[in-house]
Amino acid sequence: MELVQVDLVATDSKGAIVKDLTAEDFTLKENGAVQKITHFYNSLNEDSDYPLTVSFLIDTSASMGERVAGMTRIDVGVKAAEMVMDIMKQNDQIEVIEFNNKPEAIVPFTSDLNSIREKLKALDFRQANTAMRDAVVLALDRIKGRSGRKIIVIFSDGMDTASKSVEQDAFDAVKKSDATIVTFFSELSNFAAIGLGGTPNSPNRIKAQIGEDALKEYADISGGQFFSFRKEPELLKAMEGFRTIISSQYTLAYTPAAGKKKSGWRKIKVECKRKDIKLRHRQGYWIG
């Protein structure tokens, strides 16, 4: 039977990261049935060579050129990628997917930091549409099957105007994946200034709200986190939260006791035996 992997972050009642948990501290259930944890990994253990794969999805449509917290939205994505590169271990790899009218993997999975930095430096916004759903589906397809922890990071205003995929395609892909999705969102401050319509009920404002909701749900389903910011203190807090996910995840794996005989949604619930510990992990997985 195939192993099911669950990556999670543990925090105490004050929101501080809990760093010293062991496999014995967790109870893991699938569809209500307790499962035996056969593999356990703490990413804070520097002696481990358990790999990390991070896929950065960076929107380069015109709206991403707007400045927020002292930098363009694209710069925020570049800054986050630089932060990951600073703490990468030998077996870790990064991919960069640029998306506007369509998504493109401009940096395939690699640990070559010079290659990554060269491509990131060249990123710039352009007059183009946004194919966010297509980018999500592409990233999830490319990252599946890779060993170790898998994290997808999305930088976008969420306003999808070009995808061939419908929303359900993206949600289904998220539910079938064991990747953690982290999303960075900053609402456009002036729709009218970049030709997107200024009234509250304009089609583009409605698309933007739909996109924001989708980014929240991608993060929620996968056990990741949605970060929203407008000013520098909010951005700094978001970056620190992102660093926590990258550097402080636990990984649990198990083989379903009942086997994977029937297609459908399998609900995952992980509980900590210590009091007042909050766990953030994916809600389950879809098979079939």
Parent domain of 25:
4-44+251-287
- pLDDT at position 188 is 66
- pLDDT at position 187 is 73
Specify the 3-state DSSP secondary structure of 268.
Answer: strand
Q: Can you give the pLDDT of all 288 residues of the chain as single tens digits? A: 689 999 999 999 999 999 999 999 999 999 999 999 999 999 988 667 789 999 999 999 988 988 888 899 999 999 999 999 999 998 999 999 999 999 999 999 999 999 999 999 999 999 999 999 999 999 999 999 999 999 999 999 888 999 999 999 999 999 999 999 999 998 766 544 445 555 666 676 777 788 899 999 999 999 999 999 888 899 999 999 999 999 999 999 999 986 656 789 999 999 999 999 999 999 999 987
- Is the domain of 24 the same as that of 63? no
- pLDDT at position 114 is 95
- pLDDT at position 1 is 61
The interaxial angle of helices 73-87 and 232-247, nearest 10 deg, is 30
Q: Kindly state the tokens that stand for 242.
A: 């992102």
Task: Give the Cα-Cα-Cα angle 178, 168, 141 (nearest 5 degrees).
Answer: 40
- Is the domain of 66 the same as that of 162? yes
List the end-to-end C-alpha distance of the chain, in Å, as a whole number: 15
Neighbouring CB atoms inside 10 A of 237's CB total 12
- pLDDT at position 260 is 57
DSSP 8-state secondary structure symbol assigned to residue 98: E
Domain count, the chain: 2
Tell me if 26 sits within 8 A of 6, measured CB to CB.
no
- Is the domain of 166 the same as that of 124? yes
Which among 56, 175, 155, 52 has a CA at the least distance from the CA of 104? 56
The interaxial angle of helices 132-143 and 203-222, nearest 10 deg, is 20
- Is the domain of 183 the same as that of 267? no
- Is the domain of 124 the same as that of 189? yes
203-206, long-range: CB < 8 A, 24+ apart: 204/159, 204/161
- Is the domain of 264 the same as that of 133? no
Please name every residue paired with 11 in a beta bridge, in sequence order, or none if there are none: 17, 278
- Is the domain of 80 the same as that of 190? yes
Q: Collect all residues with Cβ–Cβ distance below 8 Å to 166 and sequence separation of at least 6.
A: 133
- pLDDT at position 259 is 60
- Is the domain of 125 the same as that of 162? yes
Specify the 3-state DSSP secondary structure of 215.
Answer: helix
- Is the domain of 31 the same as that of 103? no
Query: Is the backbone of residue 4 left (phi > 0), alpha (psi -120 to 50) or beta?
Result: beta
Query: Is the backbone of residue 8 left (phi > 0), alpha (psi -120 to 50) or beta?
Result: beta
Rounded distance, CA 245 to CA 196, Å?
34
Specify the 3-state DSSP secondary structure of 154.
Answer: strand
**CATH number of the CATH domain containing 190:** 3.40.50.410
- Is the domain of 218 the same as that of 283? no
Q: Radius of gyration of the chain from Cα atoms? A: 19
pTM: 0.93
- Is the domain of 239 the same as that of 144? yes
Burial class (CB in 10 A: 0-12, 13-18, 19+), 70: exposed
How many angstroms separate the most distant Cα atoms in the chain? Answer: 57
Q: Collect all residues with Cβ–Cβ distance below 8 Å to 137 and sequence separation of at least 6.
A: 165, 169, 170, 173
- Rounded to the nearest 5 percent, the helix, strand and coil shares of the chain are 30, 30, 35
- Is the domain of 228 the same as that of 268? no
